[in-house]
Amino acid sequence: MSYQLKSEALTMFVNFFYKLKEVGVPVSPTAFLTLQKALSLGLVTSLDDFYTSSRAILVKSERWFDLFDQVFAYHFKGVELPDYEGMELDEMARTMLEAWLQNSGELSKLLGVDESALNKLSPEELIDYFKERLKEQTEQHNGGAKWIGTGGYSPVGHSGYHPGGMRVGGVSRNKSAVKVAMDRRYKDYSQSGPLTQAMVGEALKRLRNLIPVGPKDEINIDETIYQTMKNGGEIEIVFDRRLKDRLKVILAIDNGGWSMDPYVHIVQTLFDYAGAQFKDVKTYFFHNTVYSNLWQDPARYKKPQRIDEFTRFDPETRLVLVGDASMAPYELMASDGSIHLEERSGMPSLNCLKFLADTFPKSVWLNPIPASMWDYTRTIHAIRQIFPMFELSIDGLEQAVAHLMQK
Amino acid sequence: MVDNNSGGKFGGATRYVLDEELAKIVNISMALEMPLLLKGEPGTGKTMLAHAIAESLKMPLIVLNVKSSMKLIDALYQYDTLTRLNDSRFGDSSRDVSNIEDYIKMGKIGQAFTSDVRTVLLIDEIDKADTDFQDDMLDVLDQMEFDIIEIDKTVSAETRPVIIITSNAKKDLSDPFLGRCNFHHIAFPDPDMMRRIIGVHFPELDNELMDKSISAFYRMRQLDAIEKKPATRELINWIRALTADPDFKPKQLAKGDLPYLGVLFKKSPDYARAQAAVNGRRLN
């Protein structure tokens, strides 16, 4: 049976293609044409086939698989599942039951109900209860029944409570493509979102690029002899890159306030692991922003170091600041802005930051807050004028490293 | 435009357990005559797939193991100057010294192109080579021909081989490269699958050790902040180590006493972390 490309279907595929592009999956028109070819060859006879083949042809990295799944589930919702609405609640309720069995305390807290009351229910009753709750939820908050995103379509955002985790392959599946897409098997491969402990290995590989490349000024003797012979005796000298000294890194982490808590440890683990590749990693701490001191002890009490003294360090040192850059504007702008009394230095924090940026021309600010939210915070905007800011995510780290290595 | 005499569809070989999704992707790539790029952690059977395709379609398999120092020309052909020099000095071979073609030997890609029957060409661990190599190679595979400069001859492929390319790298290959391939990512086997894999390697293994070691293995894989997670190969070696130890009892594993962690974790920070996690669990 060959797949008939009716104009309606074509529009659907074109829309699907643009939706992928819109949410940031790098899809190329050539790949789209290849997909059309596959369709016209009669290779695709069902939505299942379409799911598999369109992913293989359009998406070239597993990091986009999760996003693809979400767009697919959204776009082809209802194509072969007219009772999708009911099914969706069932799926979610089942997922919630699983979560309940794993950790009843956490879920009841999320739902805001008494754990012991639900404990009396049988699994069937629990499922029914969850379904009721879900119906309320969708009516109250979303106004529709799309399970992705809240109050509209946003595949990049938080996609609801889904503890099912990644399903690993190797087993034949007998679920529909949309359901499989809804499983979000590739969530763990997606590289957006702030760094987690599980991503450290991956992030490390990005950091490994933080090695200097020297000029091509060392003679490669073997290659020179070879090329000279090949040239019929005319001397041809071949140069190699000189290995330059390893880098020095100053890491300054905002460890004040609960908003930074989850990230402090991750960033430290990251640089601990990578320690050997650097000549020297110095770690300092600050709260919200930098005034006249950075602290060597996490409690920010015992070992202050005046930032004036940082001029003694090699200006080639890479300065990496990690913080959410979110605070009250006066903390940044006012000359006595620090919320800590002992830190009243008379110089606004903004100037201190500028001083650091001037001392170390190669510096970046890593922010765990997603880049899309940066415009909403005034202090982020102000700090971005001083330091190039990148997301504390795998992608952000990659860009930050590229920036630090620029000539 | 489907090449109908290229044999049937691929449905899995005798010893390779294939998931349905992957089989579809292989078939589509064959029909579209596009290379299939497979990524995934080591130990997910990327290389095995090419062997399985060759076996099930009864095509000869040609393997090009990519090395970091490799130049594209090595994969295409070699001009054996040394033999020619030798022949011209001693002249006791059946080769004709004045005919350079006698001294051209085909590389792996060349062999796939000149083969009489359709072949499966496995290009293993493409990520080891540099980007230029990758792009140039795809050009050759795209055009299905290359020139032998020494004799000014163009070699073009009789039949387009089924091309499977594997990559271990987490980093993406270049865009032009990706544009010419279909892509699939093979996930790490789940515990059930792993039981089958281990069963093949240790047919005699008792069930208790199998269960306990596999569940301990997956627990250890879930440790946070590990740079190199243990893969199938490490598990197999670990089980080998456990079975070789006469004092070892499978019950230890359930209690969280995991000997020979060094077999699973080969980087020292990883090892330290795993050790700490194991000790922590035992104290609790």
Please list, in sequence order, all residues whose beta carbon lies within 8 angstroms of the beta carbon of residue B102, skipping any fewer than 6 positions away.
Answer: B84, B95, B96
CA-wise closest residue to A192 among A28, A25, A333: A25
Query: How far is Cα A180 from Cα B219, in angstroms, rounded to an integer?
Result: 26
pLDDT in tens, B6-27: 346 666 554 565 667 888 888 8
Q: Give the closest of A30, A62, A197 to B179, CB-based.
A: A30
Task: For residue B237, give every residue at least 6 positions away whose Cβ sits within 8 Å of its Cβ, in sequence order, or none.
Answer: B263
According to the model, what pLDDT value does residue B95 have? Answer: 82
pLDDT tens digits along B81-118 = 778 877 877 777 788 888 888 888 899 999 999 888 98
Hey, of B181, B198, B224, B270, which one would you mutate to test binding to chain A, going by the most A CBs within 10 A of its CB? B224
Quick one: pLDDT at residue A150?
30
CA distance A127 to A94: 7
Residue B215 CB partners (closer than 8 Å, separation 6+)? B191, B253
B2 contacts in A (CB within 8 Å)? 41
Of B19, B32, B224, the CB nearest to A169: B19
- Burial class of A58 by CB neighbour count within 10 A (0 to 12, 13 to 18, 19+): buried
Cα A211 from Cα A243, distance rounded (Å): 9
Reported confidence tier of residue B283, pLDDT bands at 50, 70, 90: very low
Q: Could you report the per-residue pLDDT of A310-361, keeping only the tens digit for each?
A: 888 888 888 989 888 888 888 887 776 666 655 656 678 888 899 899 999 8
Q: Given this model, what pLDDT does residue A20 score? A: 86
Q: Span A363-392, mean pLDDT?
A: 87
Chain B residues whose beta carbon lies within 8 Å of the beta carbon of residue A41: 1-2, 31-32
Nearest CB neighbour to A43, from listed B31, B184, B185: B31
Contact B126, B173 (CB under 8 A): yes
pLDDT of residue A13: 80
Unique residue bearing structure tokens 């309940």: A100
Are A59 and B183 a contacting pair at CB < 8 A? yes
Q: Which has the higher per-residue pLDDT, A33 or A343?
A: A33
For chains A and B, count residue pairs whose Cβ atoms are closer than 8 Å.
109
Q: Is the pLDDT of residue A280 over 70?
A: yes
Q: Using CA atoms, how far apart are residues B52 and A31, in angstroms rounded to an integer?
A: 27
Could you tell me which residue, A319 or A302, shows the higher pLDDT? A319
Mean pLDDT is lowest, of A25-29, A37-41, A171-175, A214-218, for A171-175
Q: How far apart are CA B126 and CA B282, in angstroms?
A: 43
pLDDT greater than 50 at residue A2 = no
Under DSSP, is residue A187 helix (H, G, I), strand (E, B) or coil?
Answer: helix
Nearest beta carbon to residue B183 from set A37, A60, A172:
A60
Which pairs count as long-range contacts for A400-405, CB under 8 Å and 24+ apart, including other chains?
A400/A320, A400/A364, A400/A366, A401/A206, A401/A207, A401/A209, A401/A210, A402/A209, A403/A364, A404/A210, A404/A318, A404/A320, A404/A362, A404/A363, A404/A364, A405/A209, A405/A210, A405/A212, A405/A213
More confident call, B219 vs A172: B219
Q: CA A168, CA A183: separation in Å to the nearest integer?
A: 11
Mutation for testing the A interface, residue in B4, B34, B170, B200 having most A CBs under 10 Å: B170
The H or E element containing residue A217 is strand A216-219
**Contact criterion met (CB below 8 Å) for A210 and A401:** yes
Return the amino acid letter for B51.
Answer: H
How far is Cα B189 from Cα B191, in angstroms, rounded to an integer?
7
Give the pLDDT of residue A324: 85
Does pTM surpass 0.90? no
Q: Which of A359, A384, A362 has its CA nearest to residue A371?
A: A384
Structural contact between residues B124 and B65, judged by C-beta atoms closer than 8 angstroms: yes
CB interface of B with A, residues 223-242, below 8 Å: 224-229
Give dist(CA A365, CA A388) in Å, integer: 6
Rg over CA atoms, chain B? 24
Q: What is the mean pLDDT of residues A43-67?
A: 85
Q: Is the dihedral of CA A76, A79, A80, A82 positive or negative?
A: positive
Pick A92 or B133 by higher pLDDT: B133
Q: Do A202 and B170 touch (CB under 8 A)?
A: yes
Block residue for tokens 């997670």:
B229
Rg (CA), chain A: 27
The pLDDT-based confidence of B61 (bands split at 50, 70, 90) is very high
Chain A residues within 8 A of B232 when measuring between CB atoms: none
* pLDDT value at A227 more than 70: yes
End-to-end CA distance of chain A: 58
pLDDT in tens, A107-165: 666 566 666 666 666 666 666 666 666 555 444 333 333 332 233 332 322 333 222 22
Question: What pLDDT, on a 0 to 100 scale, did the predictor assign at position A168?
Answer: 28
Residue A388: per-residue pLDDT: 92
Percent of chain A's residues with pLDDT above 70:
57
Q: Which two tokens stand for residue A163?
A: 């503890």
- pLDDT, residue A336, reads 67
DSSP SS3 for A318 = strand
Give residue A326's region: left, alpha or beta (phi > 0; psi -120 to 50): beta
Stronger pLDDT, A140 or A230, i.e. the higher one: A230
Greater confidence (A6 vs A315) lies with A315
pLDDT attached to residue A185: 65
pLDDT score at B63: 92
pLDDT value at position B31? 87
Give the separation between CA A122 and CA A178, rounded to whole angstroms.
30
Place of tokens 């083949």: A53
Q: Which two tokens stand for residue A77?
A: 């919702």
Q: How confident is the model at residue A288 (pLDDT cuts 50, 70, 90)?
A: confident
Dihedral sign computed on CA atoms, order A155, A160, A165, A171: negative
Q: What is the mean pLDDT of residues A390-398?
A: 83
- Whether B17 contacts chain A with CB within 8 A: yes
Identify the weakest region by mean pLDDT among A41-45, A96-100, B149-153: A96-100
**pLDDT higher at B189 or A343:** B189
> Which B residues, 53 through 92, put their C-beta within 8 Å of a C-beta on chain A?
none
pLDDT computed for residue A166 by the predictor: 26
CB A192 within 8 A of CB A395: yes
B187 touches chain A (CB under 8 A): yes
**Do residue B225 and residue A198 have CB atoms under 8 angstroms apart?**
yes
What was the pLDDT predicted at A175?
52
Under 8 Å CB-to-CB from A87, ≥6 apart: which residues? A81, A179
Long-range CB contacts (< 8 A, 24+ apart) of B265-270? B265/B220, B265/B226, B265/B228, B265/B230, B266/B228, B266/B234, B267/B227, B267/B228, B269/A272, B269/A273, B269/B227, B270/B226, B270/B227, B270/B228
- Of the candidate ranges A17-21, A88-92, B49-53, the one whose mean pLDDT is the lowest: A88-92
Polymer length in residues for chain A: 407
Mutate to test the interface with A, among B1, B4, B28 (most CBs of A within 10 A): B28
Q: Share the mean pLDDT of chain A.
A: 71
- B126 pLDDT higher than 60: yes
Kind of pairing between the strands at B61-65 and A248-254:
unpaired
- Does residue B117 sit at the A interface (CB-CB below 8 Å)? no
**b/e B97-133 (16+ beta carbons within 10 angstroms → b):** beebebbbebbbbbbbbebeebbbbbbbbbbbbeeeb
pLDDT band at B64 (very low <50, low <70, confident <90, very high): very high
Give me the sign of the Cα torsion angle B8, B12, B14, B15. positive
Residue A153 structure tokens: 């379509």
User: pLDDT band at residue A74, thresholds of 50, 70 and 90?
Assistant: confident
Q: Answer whether A288's CB lies under 8 Å from A331's CB.
A: yes
ipTM over 0.90: no
Q: Is B185 on the interface with A (CB under 8 A)?
A: yes
Q: Binning pLDDT at 50, 70 and 90, where does residue B165 land?
A: very high
Q: Residue B39: which of A62, A266, A269 has the nearest Cβ? A: A62
- Residue A306's closest CA among A271, A268, A278, A347? A347
